[in-house]
Amino acid sequence: MTNPLGGNPPPPLNAPPPGSGAGVAPGAAAGPLRVTEIIVTPGSVLEGIFTYSSDPPASGTLIESASVAAAGTDAYGNHYLAGHATYAANFATALDAGYVAFYTGSLSGGWTFVAQLETDAGGDLILSTAGGTLTLAASGTATFSGPVVFDGNLTVYPNNIDLSMGVPTGYPYDEVTATAPSGAWYANVDGVLNALVTGVNALVAEMQNRGLIS
């Protein structure tokens, strides 16, 4: 069918009105939008993908954000994090290149970093906290097959951990054996006491280094 006045031909009589969506009858609800590709350009109007638990979006209903280059605040006052993040009451978790970060706070007040789990080029697994205490709570057995280094306080539940420690300095205490000419151990009392003091000090130092005492 051609338009006698020129230009594009008129739409068919049963075509949906403009804005109602292709193939959707007037008054009918549109179906779900299926997207096969989303291109996110950092710094532009489309700087990330945001998911809300309310319709329309509102303050306090942000539950997930993705492909975000930098942290910021959305149009509804929700504080969001960089990377791929999920949000819950008082807690948030962000996934970015090589690490998972944990935060406390709120959508309205902002987020504070508390801990991070990451890896490096050498294959090391690194868990760091922002001045807090690392607590290992396991109902079973925690096994470490390799060197374990703790730079800070370590709290383990239940308290049945077995950490092997180095032999205290001066052990075995040779000064306890009998000495000539008396043949009695008390002839070298100073040596015995010095050896015991040295050994106890070394033992305490070993325990402190492993976080067993403060």
Concatenated DSSP letters of the chain:
---TTSSSPPPPTTPPPTTS-TT--TTPPP-----S-----TTSS---EEEESSSS--TT-EEEEEEESS-EE-TTS-EE-SEEEEEETTEEEEEETTEEEEEEEETTTEEEEEEEEEE-TT--EEEEESS--EEEE-SS-----S----SS-EEEESS------PPPTT-S-GGGS-BTTTTBGGGGHHHHHHHHHHHHHHHHHHHHHTTS--
Residue 163 has pLDDT above 60, yes or no: no
Give me the chain's average pLDDT, please.
73
Residue 71 has pLDDT above 70, yes or no: yes
Report pTM: 0.54
- Which is higher by pLDDT, 131 or 92? 92
Question: pLDDT at position 189, please?
Answer: 72
**Most confident segment among 17-26, 37-46, 52-61, 133-142:** 52-61
Residue 56 has pLDDT above 80, yes or no: yes
Domain boundaries, the chain: 37-119, 174-209
Binned at pLDDT 50, 70 and 90, residue 128 comes out as confident
Question: pLDDT at position 2, please?
Answer: 56
Residues 78-94 pLDDT 10s: 999 999 999 999 999 99
Question: pLDDT at position 20, please?
Answer: 47
Residue 125 has pLDDT above 90, yes or no: no
Question: pLDDT at position 95, please?
Answer: 93
